[in-house]
Structure 1
Amino acid sequence: MTAKPCKYQDIGKRSQDLFVKNFTLGAVKFNLKSQSQAGSGFIIEAFNEIESGKVMGSGEFKNAFPGTNMNMSSKWFSDNTISTEVTINDKLFPGSRLGLLGKFDPKGGNMAGGVQAEYKNEFMLGVVEASLTGDGKPMLSPSFVFTSDGWLAGMHCYVDPNSRKVDQPQFTAGYETGNYSAFGLLNQRNELMGSLYQKVSSTLETGILVKFPYGKAKETTFQYALNWALDGSHRLQMKINTRGQISAAVSKNFGSGISISLCGHLEGKNIKAGAHKIGMGIEMEL
């Protein structure tokens, strides 16, 4: 397996997932989703913060229109904001994708919208999004990812058409195969970040994240994570960093699309501080 073009935010996703997935620290999370073969479906999420008791949630409903290459999704958030996206695939030319985006806050009366254009082929994926915020100011967000023989290189930034200012530029480059990946990222804050991923065996995955503030007297952080399939239904995940923070998660797949995970977080350098956390996740797929 060699690297395929992906969206900029998905570069190094296998390593990122090792540090994020199933670690619902300090909260209880519920996820229910369903999708038909035609592409229609829904995703319902609920999130309860254990310490504050605050409850948040969202409901997303997707509709696919067979024979038209058009899809529509609407998402409702618990703060009563509503977003809608309509996309058309491969209509202009093969590999193209055109999307219309809208967001509305009925309570505050705020509205925002945008247009997203995407093109993908065997060697590259480019996305340009033009958005209009509630204050009427336009903003462009281009990103491009190029790949060849397992090598990937990408960039992302924001552009203000009025001032012609480029903001938050990021550059990423690396190499990916079926069992291994290595990426480096440089952002506007002169931070150099690196990630490594290795599939050691069919049951064990490991990952490393390093953050190095280049040219600044700030703390360099190092994180290590593993994902170990104990058997066909049980999985153990762990991560640790140079700050002495240790997290672990255990998940069980009950079959029929139902899985439950339990996680915990320990402040190893200051055990008496009371900043330890626990969490729980429930996922159901119909």
Structure 2
Amino acid sequence: MPVPAFSDIAKPSNDLINKDFYHATAAALEVKLKADNAVSFTAKGTSAHEGATNASLEIKKGLNIKGATLTGAWNTANMTSEKIELDNVIADGLKVELLNAFSPAAGNKGQKANLYFKQAAFNGRLFADYTPTGAFSATVDGVFGHEGFLVGGEAGYDVQKAAITKYSAAVGYQTPQYSAAVQATNSLSIFTASYYQMVNAQVEAGAKAAWDAKTSGPVGIELGGKYKIDPESFAKGKINDRGIVSLAYNTKVKQGFTFGIGASFDSQKLNEAGHKIGTTFTFEG
């Protein structure tokens, strides 16, 4: 298996427990359209359980120029962004991204440079961020892998302060059927252990435990599972140590239209208000 990026060492269990649960918002709508001239439109709308409805529209245009890919985007906040990608152009296994953000009303909104380097036994990344105020920071991470065993680390650096701002470490083991990871993040103050297993072609299961050394509170535990009903639909469920139960169902109604519904209940207070239900609609064309 390829060596994952540092943030993806626990990706199988994180995706199982965190993704595709729709109760966080009352309703969400996403429309993705792509024209023949490589222009794509993405419109999003979110209705919160409490508060205002949010909406956005993003237009992107991609160009392939002598081994480089140029992507431009504009959104309804009157922000424009440009991204240049160089994949395996400078060196094999190296991808370079240069990003620029600009507001016609406010001017320069910052620049970023991202480097991704992948080899058979190594996956490394560098993220550099420059803000209009002159602040410059960088984050570097890397993971070494051998026969399924993974060891990785991450560090953040503030150039103006000449100081390390964060550091993290992780170890893990992965196979096509299961994976496990132990991570120490937030400058080694939050410890997380996770496990994921593909039981069979239809069933996935996972667990996650987290402890914050700064607060010295109880260990938070989450258990989750996913059942693939058919090639077009699945159901998910999870429960945490506080008795919060979350359920979700997702199905592709027809080509280009996906529907999801989810709910969250406090199993210890079923007769009280506070339970949440949400839906999501995704159109692609």
| TM-score greater than 0.5 by the shorter chain | yes
Q: Distance in 1 between matches of 2:34 and 2:181?
A: 33
* Higher alpha-carbon deviation: 199-208 or 160-169: 160-169
- Residues 232, 275 of structure 1: alpha-carbon distance in 2 compared, 3 angstrom cutoff: same
Q: Distance in 1 between matches of 2:260 and 2:73?
A: 26
Residue equivalent to 1:267:
266
Cα pair 2:39 2:59 within 8 Å, conserved: no
Aligned partner letter, 2:242: R
Residue equivalent to 2:131:
133
Aligned partner letter, 2:208: L
Shift of 1:99: 1.5
Residue equivalent to 2:12:
14
Residue equivalent to 1:257:
256
Matches within 5 A, 1:55-134: 55-59=54-58, 61=60, 63-65=62-64, 68-134=66-132
Residue equivalent to 1:170:
168
Query: What stretches of structure 1 move > 6 A for 4+ residues in a row?
Result: 35-40
Shift of 1:135: 1.2
Cα pair 2:22 2:248 within 8 Å, conserved: no
Residue equivalent to 2:242:
243
Unaligned runs of 5+ in 2: none
Residue equivalent to 1:159:
157
Unaligned runs of 5+ in 1: none
TM-score by length of 2: 0.89
Residue equivalent to 1:5:
3
Aligned partner letter, 2:265: L
User: Structure 1 residue 218 and structure 2 residue 217: aligned?
Assistant: yes
Q: Distance in 2 between matches of 1:30 and 1:53?
A: 15
Q: How many residue pairs get matched?
A: 283
Aligned partner letter, 2:284: E
Aligned partner letter, 1:206: A
Shift of 1:168: 2.0
Shift of 1:36: 9.3
Matches within 5 A, 1:185-200: 185-187=183-185, 188=187, 190-200=189-199
Aligned partner letter, 2:123: L
Aligned partner letter, 1:239: K
Residue equivalent to 1:283:
282
Cα pair 1:22 1:281 within 8 Å, conserved: no
Cα pair 1:58 1:75 within 8 Å, conserved: no
- Residues 285, 14 of structure 1: alpha-carbon distance in 2 compared, 3 angstrom cutoff: farther
TM-score by length of 1: 0.88
Identity of aligned residues (%): 21
- Residues 92, 136 of structure 1: alpha-carbon distance in 2 compared, 3 angstrom cutoff: same
Q: C-alpha deviations, 1:123-144, integer Å up to 9, x for none?
A: 1121112211121111111111
Residue equivalent to 1:204:
203
